[in-house]
Amino acid sequence: MNYPGATILPFEGKHPQIHETAFVAPGARIIGDVTIGPEASVWYNCVLRGDIHRIEIGARSNVQDGSVFHVEGPRPDTDGSPTIVGEDCVIGHMAVVHGATLEDRAFVGMGAVAMDDCRIGEGAMLAAGALLSPGKSIPPREIWVGRPAKFFRTQDEAQVEKIRFQTARYCDLARRHLAALRGEAQA
């Protein structure tokens, strides 16, 4: 599939793998060992650079405008840290995710930073502007806030449902943006 206005580049023989139902917005930069799953979306001016390790974006997850994803490469003491995003995750505008793992339905707020070897559990949230320092883990359904991020409270089912709502909203929005870019009439 063609992604008009996006930069999709191989690096050292590794080509981005983008599912045919995924949306990659104009201005996005997808480089190297990056996999983007079904109905996932990468929005305007995002950078996903899989040059020294891999990046995986799961089905229906969205990486919102201006976010940057990178990885930690192998060193003498470690095999490095890929960036792995599960299914139905929401990554807010201008977030930085560097060598971290997000389990299904994880939420990273606007301007938040998740550093090397971090893990954000299923249905958990790193709040807007928060900084999750290297090696920290947020257990499932917990909300962490601040710089450095610390436990705030546990989410209930209604709050986790809001993450599902945001995921569905972004899947629909991606389809509408793609149609607009193709010049298709909206119903």
In terms of pLDDT, which residue wins out, 3 or 11?
Answer: 11
pLDDT in tens, 35-44: 999 999 999 9
Distance from chain centroid for Cα 27? 16
pLDDT for position 185: 60
Global pTM value: 0.95
Q: Amino acid identity, residue 169?
A: R
What ranges do the domains of the chain cover?
7-182
- Residue 42: CB partners within 8 Å, gap ≥ 6? 22, 23, 24, 25, 28, 30, 36, 48, 57, 62, 63
User: Does the domain formed by 7-182 have CATH 2.160.10.10?
Assistant: yes
pLDDT in tens, 5-48: 999 999 999 999 999 999 999 999 999 999 999 999 999 999 99
pLDDT in tens, 153-186: 999 999 989 999 999 999 999 999 999 988 876 5
29 burial type by CB count under 10 A (0-12 exposed, 13-18 middle, 19+ buried): middle
Q: Is the peptide bond before 148 cis (omega within 30 degrees of 0)?
A: yes
Q: Is the distance from CB of 103 to CB of 86 less than 8 angstroms?
A: yes
Q: What is the CA radius of gyration of the chain?
A: 16
